[in-house]
């Protein structure tokens, strides 16, 4: 994966994530993908950072969300947010782990109703990393369980060079060893502070190739429609470039059986 500590310095700023237009759209699409949750639903959020989407799941009725992330500072920020909200029932639990490696035993033994892996696949630096991530996703889902994934779809959309929606992709470098794929920088501003981090996308993820997870018993793929999202409908002219050539999509799937 990309440098392990790159998210630590920006952990506290991530609370203002949805002030960026692209990320406001992301949050809306993920909410749609999750839909109403049940009090019995247990959700695993791989690479969930400070818990932005985990809190959405709880707001939608989920009973518990286990957030797994490699950044200790992100996890600390999430715990502090929970404390500030006065939630003491641990509906959101924060666990430090590398999602390219096997999950800690207490998580590996749990079967989840939903697994989220938002942007995580775009931090695999090799096909081995990517396979490790998919293995964790597939093994964590119970039969019939749902999968939600925000994923880069197009690296070269023209508006990404201009930052029309608040995010810029730049400094592309082809990944040869462990690839094929691309390494690049993602930049935006949070609370007026410039944020830059490194991401990597394998060609398999960009092309929405699901042969790896399908070999692990997953299927039922779909993409949350952009055209019907409330954010997009609020200003169709503004979002026309993104709808025509989306830089990211929200993919849904499920564990077959059950």
CB atoms within 10 A of CB 3: 10
Yes or no: is domain 8-154+201-255 CATH 3.40.50.150?
A: yes
Q: What is the pTM of this model?
A: 0.91
Q: Beta-carbon neighbour count of residue 74 at 10 Å?
A: 23
| Domain assignments of the chain as residue spans, ordered by start | 8-154+201-255
**For each of the chain's 258 residues, which pLDDT tens digit applies?**
444 555 555 545 555 567 899 999 999 999 999 999 999 999 999 999 889 999 999 999 999 999 999 988 888 888 888 888 887 668 899 999 999 999 998 888 899 999 999 999 999 999 999 999 999 999 999 999 999 999 999 999 999 999 999 999 999 999 988 889 999 999 998 878 888 889 999 999 999 999 999 999 999 999 999 999 999 999 999 999 999 999 999 999 999 986
Q: What are phi and psi of 108, to 5 degrees?
A: -60, -30
């Amino acid at each position: 994966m990309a440098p392990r500590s790159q998210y630590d310095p920006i952990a506290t700023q991530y609370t203002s994530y949805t002030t960026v237009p692209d990320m406001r759209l992301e949050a809306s699409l993920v909410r749609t993908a999750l839909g109403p949750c049940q009090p019995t639903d247990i959700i695993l959020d791989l690479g969930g950072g400070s818990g932005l989407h985990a809190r959405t799941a709880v707001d939608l009725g989920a009973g518990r969300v286990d957030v797994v992330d490699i950044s200790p500072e992100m996890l600390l920020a999430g715990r502090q947010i929970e404390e500030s909200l006065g939630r003491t029932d641990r509906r959101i639990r924060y666990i430090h782990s590398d999602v390219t490696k096997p999950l800690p035993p207490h998580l590996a033994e749990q079967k989840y109703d939903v697994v989220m892996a938002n942007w995580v696949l775009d931090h695999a630096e090799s096909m081995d990393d990517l396979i490790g991530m998919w293995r964790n996703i597939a093994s964590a889902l119970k039969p019939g369980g749902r999968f939600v994934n925000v994923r880069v779809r197009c690296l070269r959309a023209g508006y990404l060079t201009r930052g029309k929606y608040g995010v810029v992709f730049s400094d592309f470098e082809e990944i040869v060893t462990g690839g094929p794929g691309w390494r690049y920088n993602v930049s935006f501003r949070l609370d007026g502070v410039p944020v830059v981090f490194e991401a990597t996308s394998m060609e398999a993820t960009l092309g929405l190739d699901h042969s790896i997870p399908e070999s692990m018993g997953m299927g039922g793929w779909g993409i949350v429609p952009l055209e019907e999202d409330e954010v997009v409908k609020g200003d169709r002219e503004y979002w026309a470039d993104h709808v025509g050539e989306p830089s990211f999509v929200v993919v849904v799937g499920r564990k077959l059986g059950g």
